Structure 1
Amino acid sequence: MAALLALLLPALIGAAHAAAEKRIALVIGNSAYQNVTRLDNPRNDAVLMAETLAGLGFTLIGGRAQLDLDKPSMDIAVQSFGRQVQGADVALFYYAGHGVQVAGSNYLVPIGANATREADVDFQMLDVNLVLRQMQGAGTRLNMVILDACRNNPFGGRGLRAADGGLAQMRAPEGTLISYATQPGNVAQDGTDGHSPYTKALAATIKQAGLDIFQTFNQVGLAVKRATGGSQQPWVSSSPIDGTFYFVPPNAPAAPQVAVAPPPDPQLPSTLRPDPDRVPINNAALLRELSDRLYEHNFDPDPSDSKNGMRAAISKFQEKVAMTPTGEATEGVLTRLRKMEDLSPWGSIVYGPDIDKFGISWKHSSRRAAVEDARSKCGGAKCTLELSFYGSRCGAFAASSKSWSLIQRDTLDRAKTAALDECGRAGKSCRIIDAVCANGFGH
């Protein structure tokens, strides 16, 4: 028992210390790139870091690691991070995936990026300086930016030339530490055992009691240098930091042994915790997360962009999971959505009646990515009508000179037949314009 307590004591002390601090973290891992080289380990690295940080008292944006994000999703996550770090003690941003430097600035690469010239990067990628600006003025005592993103420039052979390999060194704003997986201008390893050497070392080191922030990243650097035979050396850029920060504080000194009376019998609480299905969500960031998760599981507000539309979407979800369809945005609804597996693959057909154009996509890792790809082949935002489907389901677009229809079914043939039937109700002969299954069958 004594040995077990000795092992548990640092973690218990760390959890108690962290409870006194408000620690906020955004963890992103991008692996499933659609237009450049896929990476094996960033998803694994992000999950490992999220679980480790949660165990050290950090509140995670979105409740978990944010995986395989496209540009709009990365923008939303960073904006949510900026809002939630207001008034926090410690803010931490972690990213694993492709990263490039262009004209001396560092950019993180969403999974759908397809840049062919330098002018593309501001629109298709995330400037790390935007992350730093979200932290500035938040009142935090300490900000950390951790970038396991110094792999080879994936766009180097297609017209976009980074200034050098790896990432550029950035000046750390006041109260900020920036940690790179390797030296500026150098390239880091993705890893061959499920995790990158850098994240593997970092996740292990921050759980050690008694290491201040500078000792922590020094130990990480030494561990990575040893693991890679000296070919990779992490790098830290820091401004002066007020006070001392420990992921896990030093062990408390042993208290003198005194006679202690046995504790009284535990009393039952006078009140029970509220039922999460009855606790309304009022926080704007959580409401946005709820809306995003409903969207990614194909529960759309109807009518869209309205309070009643959101209630309708929640009711549809509640019916699916055998809840009473109240339509109320509650903690119970969000908790169930967080526990659901992400749906994939996704396909989408979009149509703009006013411009008479359509776009189609398939085999995407998220609904948002599928819609973005389809709209890029149509008229962008002018293609307002959307049919999105996932897994083995299929969609079809039928039209005549007077009518049209977008229909999804469980097979391609059934989707085409239903689309022709729906379109033909106007009395005109219709034809199939295009059709595909989410997994790419039919194209």
Structure 2
Amino acid sequence: MGLHCQRHGLIALAFLLAFGVGDVWAERKAMVIGNSAYAEKRLLNPLNDAEDMESKLTSLGFKVILVKDANRKVLLQQLENFRSGLSPGDDAVFYYAGHGAQFEGHNYLIPLKAEINQDKDLEYEGLDIKRVINALDPVQNGLKLAIFDACRDNPYPGSGRSAQRGLARMPDVPNQTLLWFAASPGEEADDGKGRNGLFTQHLLRALDRPRLKVEDVFKQVSRAVMAATQDKPKPQHPYPEGQTLVDFYFTEAAPEPKPTTTDPATVELGFWNDIKNSQDQEDFQAYLQQFPEGLHAGLARNNLKRLVGAGSKPALVGSKLTAEVSKPVALAGLEPAPTDLDRPQPNHFRDCPACPEMVRLPAGEFMMGAAPGEAEAGSDEQPRHRVKIKAFSIGQYEVTQGQWQAVMGSNPSNFKQCGDNCPVETVSFDDIQMFIEKLNAKTGKAYRLPTEAEWEYAARAGTSTPFSTGDCINTRQANYDGNYDYNHCGAKTGVYLQKTAPVGSYPANPWGLYDMHGNVWEWTCSAYTDQYDGNDRICTNSANDRRAVRGGSWDIEPRALRSAVRNGDVPTKRGVYYGFRLAQD
């Protein structure tokens, strides 16, 4: 009886395997590790990298084990948990962000609290990458991929040590296994300009692109990283090892968008009917921003002038806009963005020909941080809180290359060919302090960077939606990577300039400020903290504090352009994404 049952069991098993039941049971599984809090050479971004990778992989159907700031014992325990949970038909991804080192041709991931006083200590205190590769062994028919954003500078480069920079080549990779390294053997990986390491930043984006085979994902990431570092003294070249015959796609084909049949005239009429009897200036400002040449634009301007004269809100009226910058230009096949130079503007002034055009904003209060339910909001955008702002002045535009050249006698920008009217970039917080010191000496004024709260107050311009443009934004309104959407709102247009645009190329916000969304991240004078704690309202005096940067840039997805989005970086960091605008009390 036992033999008979056993024979039938084997036949049934063979039948199930032959007809692909293994695929039915197959799952996507991942282990994600981020180590930042090293006693020596703390890293800024690996925790962000790991959290964002865990979120991304989860959204792509992976069951993820997330490990953060772990010592060797915890890493080994979690690695064994990962291994024991894998089945032959699973697709498995391992991801690590943190320090790594090589010694005598072996590569090691460095846990927290590792006591490495000499090279041989790596064997006992580090985690040999081969153990990671072996943990993927249970997978037989699916994807086996290990990703290492671990080529940052060796944190233990003491005198007399032979442990080298970067990681070593690994030619003996098991069959059907892929290894991705953020940098080539002997190179160091960039820890990133803001929230993510450079390699991981581009990897997160590529994972969203539909119908890309796993090998093509790596190719896209490699091209993006090499392009971003080509002008640096040490360019970064991501490096793959191994191969796979598995046709694996992180993201399947995106559904075709449903065609819209909404008549623009119907949209405008609906907007006008909603606001035509309003006593709120902002309603008519919003109408004119969206429909500057609309059927009711004249009535809207008349109502706006009447309400301003009646003082329904703090007056924002000044003289007609006369900013000494180029008018909007055509970008990447787009028509020039519409502007309305006759629209009432805040009071504005310029202290000298090379000084920035400044806009005087009234005192007020607003809710700072992401609104409840706001899509893709980060934990650092909380808690939402009410902030009172004193009247102050802020630059109508980002400081330009021409203005920097006039004050400093040099131009550090990567996109010099863009011209004097483009925002200066590749400037650190410390660089900007030198610029401000010289400008103040020339003018006798007291320019400074805005606080984080002042910046968001100006960016929102009286709105409470994710963007000052409403619940969505598009590439006719801001410079960002239009290959991505935000909350299925239509922000994905396919337009991506891959560079900065001249300031003022896009419509102003309701308070007459340009490029508060996109173009370049803007430095503030406030210390960046993981959650709001009052530092957002003041300028920090600590030389070592990370500073908050705001607004998103030309090379990022639309979610990062939201008014509430926060990022932070060390004051010495330069990047092709970093610029600024000035403020005065």
The TM-score normalised by the length of structure 2 is 0.38
Q: Answer with 1 or 2: which has the greater Rg.
A: 2
Q: Which has the higher helix share?
A: 1
